[in-house]
Structure 1
Amino acid sequence: MSLAHRRAWLKGAAASLGAFWLAACDRVSGSPKGQAVLARAEGLTRRAQRLVIDRKALAREFSPALISANFRANGSTNPSDSDYVALVANGFADWKLVIDGLVERPLALSLAELRAEPARTQITRHDCVEGWSDIAKWTGARLGPLLDKAGLKREARYIVFHCADSLGGQHADGSGRYYESVDLIDAYHPQTLLAYAMNDQALPVAYGAPVRLRVERQLGYKQAKYVMRLEAVADFAHIRGGKGGFWEDRGYEWYAGI
């Protein structure tokens, strides 16, 4: 079967199965057995997508004329966490991006140091699970070279993004704070950035200042804002709810590929 035929077949299968899963979701997601079924389906989706799409295939990029006049800011837009408020007050002069976990050379980079790392600018579409899409221009440090600088250990399989905003309530242990994760395929994708600029301006607070993740082949909830720390891990079962992200712990799919 040719690549074109495989893509057409998978699209048709996805359309048929999609209706089934949406109808069945409410019935099965509440039971442990149902959750296991959905987890297997998610794995099948991920494998199918990577079968027909090159792992380095680029998400579509757009012309400046198509940049959205009013890009929506959703989720956290002005975090009240005390440590983040202090960072905003001094213009992020004390902000450091920590890269640790399963790395040979842990890093702590200032915003100026991050801006000096290999960068990329791209105009891409943000697709939200809520059903809306907007287009913006992003500039940021490419994640792959940063991970190479830190030196991933052989057992590292995922990168976890720890953020400064609390969506689940502010708890002393930080358990209410936003977090996300990607595997190394998406971490090393050419378009995966730690973005510090939006539409040629310093990233505004409402959109995740000083740095947010852009992983362009995934849905919006994977684009973690207010990134403070990158942790290389072998798995994420021991982190928070064990599903790999704030919303994943609450029932969303871990792999949100588009």
Structure 2
Amino acid sequence: MKPGSEFNYGSLSTLIQELIDFEQELEENRHSLDFDLGLIMERGRGIRYMSTPPDVIPFARAGVDGLQYGFLTDFGAIADPAQAPVVCVSPMHWNGVWLVARNLHEFLSIVYTDNSPLTHYYEHTDAYLHDLARRQAPVYDERRQMVRELFRTRFGIHPIEDMVRYIKDLRMTRRRSIAVQTLNGLGIVPLSSEQRAHTPFSLPDMLLWDQDSRRIQEFFLNASVESRLAFVRDAQTKHLFTDSLLRAFVTSQLRAMGLSEAADHLDESYYTVVMES
């Protein structure tokens, strides 16, 4: 997939377009989905950061700190984004990405209820509660409240009644669904019928293809599908794909695994770097 082509949002295409239409209607009436709810829809193709996982399809931005939201397709395990969890991608955060919602509909409920779990990574729910306790009560704004209510009724939003419970359940469900843990916490879900045990690859903070290529090639030859994809997640978290030779090898391996779209997405994350430099 070359830069500039469009993502296929599957059965969510209509809802995504309705959100874009709603955003445009607000702007025509001097309101803002961004200012009032902290959401900017991608109109066309969004950029990919070095921290955007290759199995994430971006669909919106937060408007602050470069944060973007996308559907996590788990390397093709989820064919329709309507069934995909939503993640926040942060080019400034240490691990680059975190899970924020089970699906788009629940994501919109969080946007309406309290979007701070979308724009902040709370390592523990106590941190969220501490942040909540420190906030000042919002000043009532009639115009903003009107936009929020339009959003709620237009998209059938149901507020999240217990955000702490939601965050806990979301993370617990994800932990139970993965076969292999990764540095960024997303993990790798079971993708093959292979019975091979997970083989971890110890990634250094610095990797030199000239020195480590044989070890990496042997690993990809012998490791399970899940172990190889865990390598991809962890290498991205450690920003090792700035090594073009390593990236070229890994994208070729992804294509050999039938994951050409993920390979294209990984390369695309670095087209942006080249074009902006």
Q: TM-score, normalised by structure 2?
A: 0.24
Higher share in helix = 2
Between structure 1 and structure 2, the one with the greater Rg is 2
